Amino acid sequence: MSPRVVHVEGELTPAQRRRKRWGENLSAQLEAAGLTVKEFHRLLLAEDVDVSTQAIYSWLKGDTAPRPESQAVIAQVLSTRAHLLFPVGAPLTSVPAVEPVDAA
């Protein structure tokens, strides 16, 4: 028998904590790159990522997450690695520093 997961109001589920962490990482990387949401949106459209500015704001708030197929492109646009921007198996209690990809 599987253990039953009980959601207590006010507490975040693991998926919600992960999306929040991803949003914090994405926000920090946008700030480090000196990009506004509108500029980021234009860069994503140029890479054929079909996304609205509203969706990006939703990512930043942690309400939703980018599609898995978009995550690698997002990381590339922001000069980082997808596993740093969108960690899956790492502990959800602290936000890691997002490291830029070397240009070499």
31-87 pLDDT per residue, tens:
999 999 999 999 999 999 999 999 999 999 999 999 988 999 999 999 999 888 888
The boundaries of the domain holding residue 66 are 14-81
This prediction has a pTM of: 0.73
- 47 lies in a domain? yes
- 96 lies in a domain? no
Cβ 87 vs Cβ 21: under 8 Å: yes
- 88 lies in a domain? no
- Helix 37-46 to helix 53-61 angle, to the nearest 10 degrees? 120
Tally the domains of the chain: 1
- 100 lies in a domain? no
- 91 lies in a domain? no
CATH number where 49 lies: 1.10.260
Structure tokens at 84: 């740093």
- 86 lies in a domain? no
- 8 lies in a domain? no
Which has the higher per-residue pLDDT, 97 or 43? 43
